[in-house]
């Protein structure tokens, strides 16, 4: 089957079945020449890295309501953006988001470059994100390959090589299908096909516009592809966190260093995280009590088990680490997920001991 015939068939399917997403221009509008806002495409693509559409929608709405233009985001306070990002994970994305917004706003007059090369020169924008913005916002013939597209290509061509070794081959196959026009619609169509029809488990092959040309479907192995190399087990790291509340209701928190894991985020003072962390003194004088139970959280490269110590602190307390945040301004939703878990686990102790 000719590649352009396959592309045209997929676009016909997309015209009817495209997902309605807040950062998109629907196909009936894009066919009339309307293009998606590069700022909204960029923001959504950064948020969607290793994160589901369902999880991103509320964050996207929050960001675009508070900071509707890239200039607004560039002018925002770092701590406000980091707090708005809390819970979305992979916090280096938020730091790079601010860096990129400030370059676009302050050095490029608020306009995103319209080429992959120009986009990829911006902070935090790599090959995938540059291709996505170039295709979706500027209708450039860029091949966009995410996990959904890799899965579709592996099945369409019955590629047996396991991921990640198969990535170059799958990208090359995807490139042959990228049409010269409606590039943004096509990029989103392939992603939609993988997200809604060619799913990881139980693909709905009977509804697929490429079913008759799918080699894996013909061989009866669609659900087995793509193959993946088995990953090594994640190590377990340990740590301690100190959750202290002053008599007036203020909480003792500290902002983590700007770089590294959870960089720039608020959190509870504590030890480092390792297989055998060194003991650290409490951040303020008080009667610190170890809590039963532990906080468990999984990061990309390791599992964390966090022991908690809690204490009521006097109003005259002078902490050696961190600062007090008034109870009426503290919002646990501003904390990264692991720190929010620590808050919720310790809150029962504080409520019971008041």
Active site residues: 45
Sign of CA dihedral 314, 318, 323, 329: positive
**Helix, strand and coil in the chain, % to nearest 5:** 45, 10, 45
- Please state, in angstroms and rounded to a whole number, the distance separating the CA atoms of residues 216 and 156: 6
- Please state, in angstroms and rounded to a whole number, the distance separating the CA atoms of residues 169 and 231: 21
- Distance of CA 233 to CAs 164, 300, 302, Å? 17, 11, 9
Three-state DSSP state, 328: coil
Q: What is the 3-state secondary structure (H, E, C) of 208-223?
A: CCCHHHCHHHHHCCHH
- Please state, in angstroms and rounded to a whole number, the distance separating the CA atoms of residues 122 and 134: 13
Contact 254, 321 (CB under 8 A): yes
Q: How many CB atoms lie within 10 A of CB 269?
A: 22
Contact 153, 159 (CB under 8 A): yes
State the residue for tokens 């809690």. Answer: 310
Cα dihedral: 41, 42, 44, 47 (round 10): 170
Contact 206, 149 (CB under 8 A): no
Cis peptide before 164 (omega within 30 of 0): yes
- Please state, in angstroms and rounded to a whole number, the distance separating the CA atoms of residues 135 and 100: 19
Which token pair is 298? 């999984």
């Amino acid at each position: 089957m000719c590649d352009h015939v396959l592309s045209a068939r997929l676009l016909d399917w997309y015209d009817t079945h495209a997902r309605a997403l807040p950062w998109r221009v629907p196909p009936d509008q894009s066919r009339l020449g309307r293009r998606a806002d590069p700022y909204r495409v960029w923001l959504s693509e950064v948020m969607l890295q290793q994160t589901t559409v369902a999880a991103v929608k509320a964050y996207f709405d929050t960001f675009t309501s508070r900071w509707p233009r890239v200039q607004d985001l560039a002018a925002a306070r770092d701590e406000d953006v980091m707090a708005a990002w809390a819970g979305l994970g992979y916090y280096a994305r938020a730091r790079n988001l601010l860096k990129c917004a400030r370059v676009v706003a302050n050095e490029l007059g608020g306009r995103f470059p319209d080429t992959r090369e120009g986009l990829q020169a911006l902070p935090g924008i790599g090959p995938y994100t540059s291709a996505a913005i170039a295709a979706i916002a500027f209708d450039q013939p860029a091949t966009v390959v995410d996990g959904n597209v890799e899965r579709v290509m592996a099945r369409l061509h019955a590629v047996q090589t396991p991921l990640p070794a198969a990535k170059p081959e799958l990208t090359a196959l995807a490139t042959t299908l990228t049409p010269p026009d409606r590039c943004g619609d096509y990029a989103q169509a392939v992603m939609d096909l993988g997200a809604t029809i060619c799913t990881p488990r139980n693909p709905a092959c009977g509804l697929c516009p490429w079913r008759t040309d799918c080699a894996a479907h013909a061989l009866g192995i669609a659900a087995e592809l793509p193959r993946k190399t088995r990953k090594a087990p994640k190590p377990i790291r340990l740590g301690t966190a100190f959750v202290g509340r002053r008599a007036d209701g203020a909480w003792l928190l500290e902002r983590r260093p700007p770089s590294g894991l959870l960089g720039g985020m608020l959190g509870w003072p504590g030890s480092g995280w390792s297989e055998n962390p060194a003991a650290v003194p409490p951040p303020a004088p008080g009667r610190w009590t170890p809590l039963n139970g532990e906080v468990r959280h999984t990061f990309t490269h390791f599992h964390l088990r966090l022991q908690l110590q809690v204490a009521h602190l006097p109003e005259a307390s002078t902490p050696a680490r961190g600062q007090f945040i008034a109870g009426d301004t503290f919002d646990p939703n501003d904390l990264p997920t692991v720190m929010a878990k620590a808050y919720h686990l310790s809150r029962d102790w504080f409520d019971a001991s008041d």
